[in-house]
Homo-oligomer: A and B are copies of this chain.
Amino acid sequence: MPKVARRFDAKLDSPGLEPDLSSPKGARAAGRSGALDGPTSGLAPGFVQGNLAVLPADLAGDFLHFCQRNPKPCPLIGVSEAGDPRLHLLGEDLDIRTDIPRYRVWKNGALVDEPQDILKWWRSDLVAFILGCSHSFEEALIEDGLSVRHIDRSTTVPMYRTNIACVRAGAFQGPMVVSMRPFRPADAIRAVQITTRFPAVHGAPVHIGLPQLIGIEDIAKPDYGEAVPIADDELPVFWACGVTPQAVIQAVRPPFAITHAPGRMIVTDIRNSRLAAL
Interface residues of A (CB under 8 A from B): 184-186, 188-189, 192-193, 196, 204-210, 213, 233, 235, 278
- Nearest Cβ distance between residue A126 and chain B, in whole angstroms? 35
This chain's copy number in the assembly: 2
Q: Are B233 and A208 in contact (CB under 8 A)?
A: no
Partner of A209 from the list B206, B208, B278 (CB cut-off 8 Å) is B208
7 contacts between A and B (CB under 8 A): A185-B209, A185-B213, A186-B207, A189-B206, A192-B204, A213-B233, A278-B278
When distances are taken between beta carbons in the complex, the residues of chain B under 8 Å from A186 are 206-207
Closest 6 CB pairs of A and B: A192-B192, A209-B209, A185-B208, A185-B207, A209-B235, A193-B196
- Nearest Cβ distance between residue A204 and chain B, in whole angstroms? 6
Q: Please report the C-alpha to C-alpha distance between residue A208 and residue B188 in the assembled complex, in whole angstroms.
A: 8
- Nearest Cβ distance between residue A241 and chain B, in whole angstroms? 16
- Nearest Cβ distance between residue A67 and chain B, in whole angstroms? 20
A196-B196, A278-B278 as given contacts; A210 in contact with B233, CB under 8 Å: yes
A196-B196, A209-B209 as given contacts; A204 in contact with B233, CB under 8 Å: no
Q: Are B210 and A189 in contact (CB under 8 A)?
A: no
When distances are taken between beta carbons in the complex, the residues of chain B under 8 Å from A205 are 189
When distances are taken between beta carbons in the complex, the residues of chain B under 8 Å from A204 are 189, 192-193
Find the B residue at minimum CB distance from A191. Answer: B192
Q: Please report the C-alpha to C-alpha distance between residue A189 and residue B213 in the assembled complex, in whole angstroms.
A: 15
Find the B residue at minimum CB distance from A192. Answer: B192
When distances are taken between beta carbons in the complex, the residues of chain B under 8 Å from A235 are 208-210
Q: Please report the C-alpha to C-alpha distance between residue A215 and residue B221 in the assembled complex, in whole angstroms.
A: 32
Q: A185-B209, A189-B205, A193-B193 are in contact. List 16 more A-B contacts (CB 8 A).
A: A185-B207, A185-B208, A185-B213, A188-B208, A188-B209, A189-B192, A189-B207, A189-B208, A192-B193, A193-B196, A208-B208, A208-B209, A209-B209, A209-B235, A210-B233, A210-B235
When distances are taken between beta carbons in the complex, the residues of chain B under 8 Å from A189 are 192, 204-208
- Nearest Cβ distance between residue A94 and chain B, in whole angstroms? 34
When distances are taken between beta carbons in the complex, the residues of chain B under 8 Å from A184 are 213
When distances are taken between beta carbons in the complex, the residues of chain B under 8 Å from A208 are 185, 188-189, 208-209, 235
Q: Please report the C-alpha to C-alpha distance between residue A186 and residue B213 in the assembled complex, in whole angstroms.
A: 11
- Nearest Cβ distance between residue A186 and chain B, in whole angstroms? 6
